[in-house]
Structure 1
Amino acid sequence: YDLSKPACVAIFHHEFKNNPAMFREGSKRDYELLLNFFGELNANVKYRCEDYKAKKVKETVKKIRNKNFDKYSCLIVIIMSHGEAKDQIWALDKCYNLEADVVDRIRENRSLRAKPKLFIVQACKGEAMMEPDYTPTAPSAMNIMKCYSTYDGN
């Protein structure tokens, strides 16, 4: 795959209107470092979505679905937020679904049809806590990232 000229989308949620206790302390710095990293890669950050409501995230994804990405080699979408089970991602006001509202819509973009589309999500997938019955000597399961080149069944 050619990843030499990526277009990037950064979706960043760190404030949550209905639950101020969910504020993601320190995440603003992570976001700034991510944007700097994209700059070092000479990647074009096409959309910066910071603390959008779920409706505005969906509207932005609709724009991405219709945008012409012919001059780019791939699309990288980074989402930073809190998450819930079943691919739910928290926006400023409520959750949206990663698969239905983001991935599936972007897959409909004809100019991205034969190009890699990378979705990197920094969010939990629920509230389950690991209860160790021993002193851990390795990082917990929360520090694992699995990436597949395709969906289940494909």
Structure 2
Amino acid sequence: MKKIINPWEGMPGYNCIGCSPDHPFGFHLHFYEDGDDIVSQWQPTPDFQGWVNTLHGGIQALLLDEICGWVVTRKLQTAGVTSRMETRYKRPVSTSEPMLTLRAHIVEQRRNIVTIEATLSDSTGKVCTEATCTYFAFPKEKAERDMHFKECATEEE
């Protein structure tokens, strides 16, 4: 797997709750490219519970939406926004899990509309949550002008 360099790191005003390393209570996610997939890992804590010892469903959706956005960033070399998200909760996620794995990839692209499938798995590899996100990918000129996007490389590039 190749570690993806965050193209916005150090930019004034960049404070994404999912991936900014400086967000005071953010998730500080890092992303990796594994073939067609983008992968990340995150360790939950009781701070993010809904029910006792159970990761809040909204947090699960946030994690899946975030990794889908990074699919657009890395694979399409642009920025985008979520226009639709369908989330399927298959089994509870414990806040005491040692590590969760997020994985996502493009399943379809029609012009600027991109369909991405994502999974959230527990430390044993069981898929707990699935999502299908529809993203609107910005034209590269708009991403550069409005989102300050230049490129999304890996450490090996």
Task: Provide the TM-score with structure 2 as the length reference.
Answer: 0.29
- Larger CA Rg, structure 1 vs 2: 1
